[in-house]
């Protein structure tokens, strides 16, 4: 892999004229009933049947959206709850996304210290050594991580990013309302989220690419545009992964503060509004997802152009 994750992300934004990421959060109970029924008829009411339905659902979405979105973001919880078949479906989803030239942001919010964080780093960003051989367990392009344990839990991940040209997104200012209980606590002259943002900036300085972007990104919710604007100044070199758009209530104009003036520096995640769009729009889930994604792409680009923050 010749280029850093941040460079590959920038190239995808520019070539697709899109900053949209689709969250692959396949709640089994919300999958198209015909899809579930087919696999249940074959394998019964089992984890294997559910996992195979999830994989087919994901493949359909990837085929429908690969030219619109810059990345997919599988949320590991929805795969882990299906046991080993679910993890197999996750890995197959990662491989299928890559076959369609999509970047993969694994949403696992992992963190630990010592050999434990090294294990997470090897599993999702690096390789697992077995004697003379090396294997990519879950070959993601990037991983969401929790900063609560401080530098001990982040530096090993950054090292893997530099070695394998990968990226991380650190939870800084999340989109959920109760995040303020910790993230907005006063910490001297700053809030906790600002302190974490400054740490992210420091952690990323050793990995700047030729465009000035870092391997260390940040999760910054669109539901808090004022805080996002502050963090954009604190972390000028970080890519922001922006949740909260769509189903959580953030509008296109709310995401603008997450971008740099070059129209880069952020990608906007949308899951439910796209992947379960067939519930509102009717018809085939792939067609509905494509329509929803095109609308989201158009609305975000319009908001960026109005603020003179569009790179295309």
Residue 163 a catalytic site member: no
CB contact at 8 A, 233 and 200 = no
CB contact at 8 A, 117 and 147 = no
Tell me which H or E stretch contains 203. Answer: helix 192-203
**Nearest Cα to 79, choosing from 69, 70, 89, 71?**
89
Residues 6+ apart with CB under 8 A from 24: 58, 61, 72, 73, 74, 75, 78, 93, 271, 275
Tokens of 229: 């604007």
Residue written as tokens 């991983």? 143
Task: Print burial letters for 145-184: b (CB count within 10 Å at least 16), e (below 16).
Answer: bebeeeeebbebbbbbbeebbbbbbbbbbbbeeebbeebe
Spot the catalytic one: 16, 59, 98, 109: 109
Active site residues: 109
């Amino acid at each position: 892999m010749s280029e850093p994750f941040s460079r590959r992300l920038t190239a995808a934004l520019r070539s697709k004229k899109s900053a949209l990421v689709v969250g692959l959060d396949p709640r089994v109970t919300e999958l198209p009933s015909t899809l579930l029924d087919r696999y249940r008829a074959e394998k019964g009411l089992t984890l294997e049947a559910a996992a195979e339905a999830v994989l087919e659902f994901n493949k359909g979405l990837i085929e429908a959206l690969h030219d619109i979105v810059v990345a997919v973001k599988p949320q590991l919880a929805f795969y882990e709850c299906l046991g080993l078949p679910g993890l197999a479906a996750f890995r197959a989803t990662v491989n299928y996304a890559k076959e369609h030239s999509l970047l993969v942001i694994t949403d696992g919010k992992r963190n630990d210290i010592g050999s434990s964080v090294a294990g997470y780093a090897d599993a999702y960003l690096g390789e697992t050594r077995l004697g003379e051989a090396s294997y990519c367990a879950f070959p993601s392009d990037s991983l969401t991580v929790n900063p609560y344990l401080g530098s001990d839990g982040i530096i090993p991940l950054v090292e893997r990013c530099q070695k394998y040209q990968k990226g991380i997104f650190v939870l800084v200012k999340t989109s959920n309302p109760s995040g303020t209980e910790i993230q907005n606590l006063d910490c001297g002259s700053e809030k906790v989220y600002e302190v974490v943002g400054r740490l992210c900036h420091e952690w990323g300085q050793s990995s700047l690419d030729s465009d000035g972007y870092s391997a260390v990104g940040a999760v910054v919710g669109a539901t808090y545009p004022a805080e996002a604007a502050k963090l954009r100044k604190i972390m000028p070199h970080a890519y922001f992964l922006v949740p909260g758009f769509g189903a959580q209530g953030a509008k296109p104009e709310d995401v603008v503060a997450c971008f740099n003036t070059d129209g880069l520096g952020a990608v906007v995640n949308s899951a439910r509004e796209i992947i379960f769009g067939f519930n509102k729009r009717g018809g085939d889930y792939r067609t509905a997802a494509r329509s929803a994604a095109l609308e989201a792409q158009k609305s975000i680009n319009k908001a960026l152009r109005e603020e003179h923050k569009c790179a295309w």
